[in-house]
Amino acid sequence: MQKVYLDNAATTQVRDEVITKMQQALGEFYGNPSSTHSFGRSAKTAIEKARKTIAKYLNAHPAEIIFTSGGTEADNMILRCAVRDLGVKTIITSKIEHHAVLHTAQELEKEYGITLLFVDLDESGNPDITHLKKLLGHNDSKKLVSLMHVNNELGNIIDVNLIAQLCKDTGALFHSDTVQSVGHFKWDLAENPIDFLTAAAHKFHGPKGIGFAFVRRNSGLKPLIVGGSQERGFRAGTEPFHNIVGLEEAFIASYENLDVEKKFVTDLKKYFVEKIKNEIPEVEFNGLSGDLDKSTYTLTNVRLPFDTQKSLMLLFHLDLKGIACSKGSACQSGSAKGSHVLSEILSDEELSKPSLRFSFSKYNTKEELDYTIQVLKEFAEN
């Protein structure tokens, strides 16, 4: 049976050079980075080197990079600390954010009594900038806007430069969950006035369990996790040194090869979109995921012309054929509930049809896409 992995938005295959780097770290640099002896100093030096590497590619200052366990922790940390430490009384977000943002904002509404506002979305799932401007003037309270750069289900790309400047002009803070973006798009944080962003290594061929937050200098945020002086006092806990050097290696590889790999993956997506439209003409694309100019090159989300009964067996059938994709985000796939993202932009009739997210990487081939579409076509015809 052929094995085809098209769930790269959930997690990616770790690069060989990353595995090698992490094995070396586990075997040779086992000192506690907080220790003052040579074993500890060696580990600490490597961690600071990784911090400087990330900062260099993002055009940020090393002190603005805080290592976390991943995107979820980083999102929680920024939103919670902004309310607790910076006097944020109003959070403006959208109903199609990752649950790491949505659920955190809802908890903060309960715990601190903040005002939670949702920006209107157009029919494709993009935020209405006119409505966002209106919300920014809703009251005189300190505000934080949290909108993701690349939606993890639809692939829609928002204009973070425009929104960051709009927030700056109105005195609001701006946070963006960039987990689907960092490693796949270039950033210049000296030019973009964004206050906070988050990233996870396993989305760009690095290890799971490690990510980082960008926190603009002099933000005023205080630690969420206390109990030690690690991460310059911002996040307590012994650093997972092997994961940090793995993140660095994956980060370097992603950006050094970005142009070549972006073209390769873009060609894969274009091929997939064109072929599935030819083979299954009734297929529809959710959000802007079929538009190569307005969505990320790494994924597409298709709505298939199958009835409800047939839909129940679709993912099971694909799995039997060795094809991995996702019904919604990976965080949703084990749940009987439908996608909260698609529920916001599709009609009940459209929601009755099965939607699948196919996400691509440098490790995929056109032959794999041919096989996947053939399996879908045969399923539709039987």
Question: Which residues form the catalytic set?
Answer: 331
Query: Is the CB of residue 51 less than 8 Å from the CB of residue 230?
Result: no
Distance CA 260, CA 17 (A): 18
State both tokens at 226: 């206390």
Distance CA 78, CA 221 (A): 8
| Torsion sign across C-alpha atoms 91, 94, 100, 104 | positive
Distance CA 114, CA 111 (A): 8
Distance CA 6, CA 326 (A): 8
Distance CA 361, CA 7 (A): 9
Distance CA 377, CA 163 (A): 41
Sheet of strand 65-68, all strands in order from the earlier edge strand to the far edge: 65-68, 211-215, 196-200, 173-177, 143-146, 90-93, 115-118
Which residues, listed in sequence order, are joined to residue 117 by a DSSP beta bridge? Answer: 92
Nearest to 177 by CA among 75, 254, 78, 83: 75
- The residue written with tokens 């999102």 in the block is 75
Distance CA 147, CA 173 (A): 11
